[in-house]
């Protein structure tokens, strides 16, 4: 078995005991990248020299007895929205071509402090404004989309290049690629982790988090990323979290909400069956299934797009005045649409979000977590990114994917995507676990329980 195929926990222990050198781990990661990158194009920039230098530094530190923890010496991919000092950060856009930040984003800085090693910057749908990442192929079938906007991160983890890649999630952009690429993706509670140094799509909806091969790894990385940062006034001071201790506590007695609306419309039969089976597996482990009708569900997408559209256009206002031709046609049209939005519509969307958040808080009074499909279907073809439903409806992949994932952004609740099954075409299908504010540990416990009863989590695409 090649090094890149080993679980992060095993690699971490071998690094700690000096059975493996971080240099060997990085070499394996870079070798894997060289083999699969022609098929999937997951990376905008490969930082081979930086990776080898950081690996040598980690090796020396560990030899000197300065082991920093379970992420020390572990390769990392970073979505090209995150500032990385001395490394181009382009947001996969001509608008930012040649942009090289002087400082690291807060999340990258924290993971460097944990000893992680930068392999490269991963592709994103331009400025994170989309759910398909056209530049990149799905590792399970390169002719299919890898999801978005963190499509490069999903593809890099799904293909086995790295164990961890950073994503951002404004309407599902961590969970969407995690689902279609067959990996774990964690969107934390709004305010859990700093967005400082990460290009914004929609300031009041943006979240940052990891894509990983398994649930425990997501907990490790999320804990390292978390914490108050005065540079991001949305962050909350909650102390130093531990999302891994007790992750195996089980789900006995937990109340699992099973939606009877919203998540049941326009989904494939395979997704419906995978979600049903996941619920029954949790019930067999001692959890109690509780049917729940989600409140104000018909207004969720209006709130999401009413807020996102206006805030995205405000962020890009200057660039649109100076060089609109540098944006792709798709993203430029979305920004122009947002510029035409009335201020009253934006304010009403903010007010509507408050009502939705209050209603969901009440709905969670009798629940511990909510279990739902992550997406209505698996990866669609890159040359035909649409869903065609039995009732004749035709839905773009961006609309269909964000439809299922946006509720956790509107509410700000933590949500974990976990691989649950494979379609008849061999494509990954996932479920998401949505929890109460700042209850990431509980969401991870439920995800870990699901991971243990199946053999889907942790698979690497056979590229």
**Owner of token pair 């890649």:** 165
Contacts of 268 (CB under 8 A, 6+ apart): 376, 377, 378, 423
As a whole number of angstroms, the distance between CA 406 and CA 190 comes to: 13
DSSP state of 341: S
Residue 287 backbone class (left: φ over 0; alpha: ψ -120 to 50; beta: rest): beta
- Of 12, 92, 149, 194, the active-site residue reads 149
**Is 436 among the catalytic positions?**
no
CA distances from 69 to 245, 262, 264, 397 (A): 14, 42, 42, 40
Instruction: Write down the residue that tokens 């649950």 correspond to.
Output: 420
Q: Is residue 150 annotated as a catalytic residue, yes or no?
A: no
Catalytic site residue from 173, 179, 402, 405: 173
For residue 273, what are the contacts with CB-CB under 8 A and spacing of at least 6?
Answer: 421
Instruction: For residue 201, give the nearest of 319, 104, 81, 92 by alpha carbon.
Output: 81
Marked catalytic residue, from 29, 79, 168, 436: 79
202 annotated active-site: no
Q: How far apart are CA 95 and CA 312, in angstroms?
A: 15
**How far are the Cα atoms of 256, 275, 356, 402, 454 from residue 282, in angstroms, in the given order?**
8, 11, 27, 26, 11
- Work out the number of other CB atoms within 10 angstroms of the CB of residue 322: 9
Q: Catalytic residues, which ones?
A: 79, 149, 173
């Amino acid at each position: 078995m090649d090094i890149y195929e080993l679980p992060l926990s095993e690699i971490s222990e071998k690094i700690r005991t000096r059975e493996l050198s971080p240099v060997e781990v990085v070499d394996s990661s870079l070798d894997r990248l060289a083999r699969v990158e022609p098929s999937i194009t997951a990376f905008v920039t490969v930082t081979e020299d930086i990776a080898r230098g950081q690996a040598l530094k980690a090796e020396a530190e560990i030899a000197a007895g300065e082991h920093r923890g379970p992420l020390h010496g572990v390769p990392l991919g970073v979505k090209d929205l995150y500032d990385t000092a001395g490394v181009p950060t382009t947001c996969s856009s001509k608008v930012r071509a040649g942009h090289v930040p002087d400082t690291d984003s807060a999340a990258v800085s924290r993971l460097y402090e944990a000893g992680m090693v930068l392999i490269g910057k991963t592709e994103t749908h331009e400025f994170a404004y989309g759910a398909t990442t056209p530049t990149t192929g799905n590792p399970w079938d390169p002719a299919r989309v890898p999801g978005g906007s963190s499509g490069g991160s999903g593809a890099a983890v799904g293909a086995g290049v790295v164990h961890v890649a950073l994503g951002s999630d404004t309407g599902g952009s961590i969970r969407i690629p995690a689902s279609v690429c067959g990996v774990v993706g964690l969107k934390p509670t709004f305010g859990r982790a700093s967005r400082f140094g990460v290009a914004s799509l929609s300031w009041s909806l943006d979240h940052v988090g990891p894509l990983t091969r398994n649930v425990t790894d997501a907990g490790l990385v999320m804990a390292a990323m978390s914490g108050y940062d005065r540079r991001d006034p949305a962050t909350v001071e909650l102390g130093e979290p531990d999302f891994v201790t007790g992750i195996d506590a089980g789900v006995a007695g937990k109340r699992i909400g099973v939606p009877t609306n919203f998540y049941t419309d326009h989904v494939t039969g395979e997704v419906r069956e995978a979600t049903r089976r996941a619920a029954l597996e949790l019930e067999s482990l001692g959890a109690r299934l509780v049917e729940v009708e989600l409140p104000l569900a018909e207004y969720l997408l209006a709130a999401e797009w009413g807020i996102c559209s206006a805030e995205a256009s405000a962020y890009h206002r200057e660039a649109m005045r100076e060089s609109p031709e540098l944006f792709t046609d798709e993203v430029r049209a979305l920004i122009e649409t947002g510029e035409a939005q009335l201020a009253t519509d934006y304010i009403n969307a903010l007010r509507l979000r408050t009502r939705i958040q209050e209603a969901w808080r009440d709905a969670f009074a009798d629940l511990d977590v909510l279990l739902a499909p992550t997406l209505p279907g698996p990866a669609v073809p890159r040359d035909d990114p649409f869903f065609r439903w039995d009732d004749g409806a035709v839905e773009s992949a961006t609309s269909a994917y964000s439809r299922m994932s946006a509720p956790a952004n509107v509410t700000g609740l933590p949500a974990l995507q976990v691989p649950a099954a494979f379609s008849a075409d061999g494509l990954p299908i996932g479920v998401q676990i949505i929890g109460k504010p700042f209850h990431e540990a509980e969401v991870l416990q439920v995800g870990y329980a699901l991971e243990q009863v199946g053999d889907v989590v942790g698979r690497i695409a056979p590229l």
